[in-house]
Every structure is written in structure tokens, then in C-alpha cells.
């Protein structure tokens, strides 16, 4: 007699039982944009459905997000005034610091993650101090450490450096520890590519470089061995969790990074991935819900323990209703 295995697909219950990838709301991180001002909730045209909040309307966002079952958010700040060195990033009364204080007080259960970068705060839109037309690594690292510390002191549970300067994770860890903030977690954008998929974000955050691009500090999309080196260095310097960014176009990188290291690994499904799906769905060309669910499953299957995504509310809803 010949043994013939059955396919484990005939009913939904069997498919669910045999599923190799399972998602849960605890994996989700929802990015949010905070801008200076009062009483502001404004649409971001390039990212339909996403909004910017002022610190006073931020609690409304937090309430909706917590009610949706999302437990972690990632904050980006848009200051009113920008300067050459991005001083708004570490200002004790900066837009992010204000939002963190009010948020942490009213929603102590929420995990507050903060993007650490200078591009939203510099007049030239680059991620650090300039020397001529290039970013000056070492002085920038000092400013990033100051920024992370000020975010931690304002209430951030997790700081997430996204600048891609060399040595920033170690400098941030040192600054945090020296100030007694040794419990603050570092979630490093260890593997961040110079990607055109960040296009809509730059409109959302007003952070398009005034000249040139970010290829001298962000990674070359042709490289994957370099991703392993970047991740290794960040972990050696004290990164507690690491991220690969963008998401879907870089699943091979995510999978290799996940296999190589034993720290929690995140994938950032970036603004361009969001807006592409939104635009196609608005035209009736894609079934938005199914594409969003499939994208999240693919990120998790490739190795993501954490998924940073603008679709977090939709995903949480599907999970709550047992559809994902
Ligand atoms: C800041 C930063 C960027 C993103 C996250 N942090 C923009 C960039 O590097 O140009 C992109 C996020 C997205 O596209 O959703 N450096």
C-alpha cells in the first residue's frame, strides 16, 4: 500500500490548525506624526487615512489606538522651527517631548517608541550635521544621543535610532546609562536602505533633503551581507531589538537577519508600501483587506517578530474579529 499524505487545506479549521505563521496584536507598532500647534488633526494627502496630531489632540489618537487593541506606537515629530543642527529634536519642550509627557500620563499602559533622527528637525532635511555637503558622523552621533536621552526623560519606553550614522547605538546606550535611564530599550533601525519607498513619509514629516539624497548614510539596496554586518555592529553596541526597513521588498534580508541573530527582529512596512496599497484599492484594483492581511503574514513568515505598519488599526481589527 502506498502512503499518500492528505493536504491539510480542506476546511478553514484545518488550515488554521496547520498554519505555520500566526499573528497577534502584540506584534504591531503604529507610527504617528506629531506636529506643533494646538487643536490640530490634519490629513496627510500622500497617505490617505493617516493624520498629524498636535500634542493636545494626541490623547484622542491614543484613546482610539488603545481601543483598537494596539499596544505600541512609534512617534515622529514635526517642529515649527528648524535649524542647521536640528536642535528641536532634543529640546525639553520640543513637540515630541510634550506629546510624550501628556501621552505617558494619560495612557501609562501604552508602549511609547520614539524615532531618533534629525531629518525632521534640520533646515536642510539631512539626518545630521553637515560638513560641506556631507553629514558629519561623529558630531551627529552626539546630538542623536542627546535626543534619545531627552526622549527617554520625557517618557519614551523605547528609542529607535533611524539615522544610520556609525556608532550611534553605543553612544545612545552610554548616554542613557550615564543618566540613570538604563531601563530604556533601544530598537535600532539596524538595516535601513536608501529607499524610494519612503516618498510619502517625507511629505508627511516634511523631511525631504534640500539637496542630494541619503545614499551616503543609508544602505545600498544591492547589498545583503552588509545588512548582517550592520545588525551585528548594532547588537554589539547594545541594540536590544533590531529592524529591517522597508518591509516587503526586503524579505530576503529580513529572513537572513532573523536567522543570524537572537534579538527580536522588526520589519517596517513603510509609507510607500502603505500608499501603493491605498491607491490601488481606491481604484478598485486590489482588495485592500486581503492585501493588507497577506502583507503582514508574509512579513511574519519571513521572520518579523514585530511589524511597524500604518495598517496597524486594520490588522488589529481583523485579529479581533478572528479574520487574521
Ligand atoms: C527618518 C525616518 C524616515 C522613515 C523613518 N524614519 C525617512 C527617511 O529616512 O527618509 C521612513 C518611514 C516611512 O517611509 O514610512 N530618518
Residue at grid coordinates 501621552: 103
Q: How far is the CA of 16 from the centre of ligand 1 (A)?
A: 35
| Per-residue pLDDT in tens (0 to 9) along the chain, 324 residues | 788 888 899 999 999 999 999 999 999 999 999 999 999 999 999 999 999 999 999 999 999 999 999 999 999 999 999 999 999 999 999 999 999 999 999 999 999 999 999 999 999 999 999 999 899 999 999 999 999 999 999 999 999 999 999 999 999 999 999 999 999 999 999 999 999 999 999 989 888 899 999 999 999 999 999 999 999 999 999 999 999 999 999 999 999 999 999 999 999 999 999 999 999 999 999 999 999 999 999 999 999 999 999 999 999 999 999 999
Q: Does any domain span residue 1?
A: no
Is residue 271 domain-resident? yes
Residue 141 cell numbers, joined: 552621533
Strands, E, within 11-110: which ranges?
28-35, 41-43, 51-53, 72-78
Q: Considering its fold, how many domains does the chain have in total?
A: 1
Identify whether 310 is part of a domain: yes
Say which residue the cell 523631511 belongs to. Answer: 207
Residue bearing the CA closest to ligand 1, atom 5: 162
Whether ligand 1 lies within 6 angstroms of the CB of 308 is answered as no
Query: pTM of the prediction?
Result: 0.97
Q: Is 5 part of any domain?
A: no
CATH code for the domain of 115? 3.20.20.70
State the angle between helix axes of 58-67 and 95-106 in degrees (0 to 180), rounded to the nearest 10: 50
Distance (Å) from CA 33 to ligand 1 centroid: 12
Specify if 15 maps to a domain.
Answer: no
Query: Is 245 tagged catalytic?
Result: yes
Which of 71, 192, 256, 258 is labelled catalytic?
Answer: 192
* 195 assigned to some structural domain: yes
- The residue whose CA has the least distance to atom 14 of ligand 1 is 198
Task: Using the atom order of ligand 1, give the atom closest to the CA of residue 310.
Answer: 15
| 131 labelled catalytic | no
Q: Please work out whether the CB of residue 127 comes within 6 Å of at least one atom of ligand 1.
A: yes
DSSP H helical ranges for the chain: 12-18, 58-67, 95-106, 137-154, 168-178, 199-205, 225-237, 251-260, 271-282, 288-302, 312-320
Residue-range definition of the domain harbouring residue 46:
21-320
Domain membership flag for residue 217? yes
Distance CA 41, CA 32 (A): 12
Is 273 touching ligand 1 by the criterion CB < 6 Å? no
Kindly state whether residue 108 falls inside one of the protein's structural domains. yes
Amino acid at each position: 500500500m502506498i502512503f499518500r499524505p492528505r493536504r491539510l487545506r480542506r476546511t478553514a479549521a484545518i488550515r488554521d490548525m496547520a498554519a505555520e505563521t500566526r499573528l497577534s496584536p502584540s506584534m504591531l507598532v503604529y507610527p504617528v506624526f506629531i506636529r506643533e500647534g494646538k487643536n490640530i488633526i490634519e490629513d496627510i494627502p500622500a497617505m490617505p487615512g493617516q493624520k498629524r496630531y498636535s500634542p493636545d489632540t494626541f490623547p484622542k489618537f491614543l484613546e482610539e489606538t488603545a481601543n483598537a487593541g494596539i499596544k505600541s506606537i512609534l512617534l515622529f515629530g514635526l517642529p515649527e522651527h528648524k535649524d542647521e543642527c536640528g536642535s528641536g529634536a532634543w529640546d525639553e519642550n520640543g513637540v515630541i517631548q510634550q506629546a510624550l509627557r501628556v501621552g505617558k500620563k494619560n495612557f501609562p499602559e501604552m508602549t511609547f517608541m520614539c524615532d531618533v533622527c534629525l531629518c525632521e528637525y534640520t533646515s536642510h532635511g539631512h539626518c545630521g550635521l553637515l560638513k560641506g555637503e556631507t553629514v558629519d558622523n561623529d558630531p551627529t552621533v552626539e546630538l542623536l544621543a542627546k535626543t534619545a536621552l531627552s526622549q527617554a526623560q520625557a517618557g519614551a519606553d523605547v528609542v529607535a535610532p533611524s539615522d544610520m550614522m556609525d556608532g550611534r547605538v553605543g553612544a545612545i546606550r552610554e548616554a542613557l546609562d550615564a543618566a540613570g535611564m538604563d531601563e530604556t530599550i533601544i530598537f535600532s533601525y539596524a538595516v535601513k536602505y536608501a529607499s524610494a519607498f519612503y516618498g510619502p513619509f517625507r511629505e508627511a514629516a516634511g523631511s525631504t533633503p534640500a539637496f542630494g539624497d541619503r545614499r551616503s548614510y543609508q544602505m545600498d539596496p544591492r547589498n545583503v551581507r552588509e545588512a548582517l554586518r550592520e545588525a551585528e555592529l548594532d547588537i554589539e553596541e547594545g541594540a536590544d531589538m533590531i529592524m529591517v526597513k522597508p518591509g516587503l521588498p526586503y524579505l530576503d534580508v529580513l529572513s537572513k537577519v532573523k536567522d543570524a541573530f537572537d534579538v527580536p527582529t522588526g520589519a517596517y512596512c513603510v509609507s510607500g508600501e502603505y500608499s501603493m496599497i491605498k491607491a490601488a484599492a481606491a481604484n478598485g484594483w486590489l482588495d485592500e483587506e486581503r492585501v493588507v492581511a497577506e502583507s503582514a503574514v508574509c512579513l511574519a513568515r519571513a521572520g518579523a517578530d514585530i511589524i511597524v505598519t500604518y495598517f496597524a488599526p486594520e490588522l488589529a481589527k481583523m485579529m479581533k474579529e478572528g479574520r487574521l
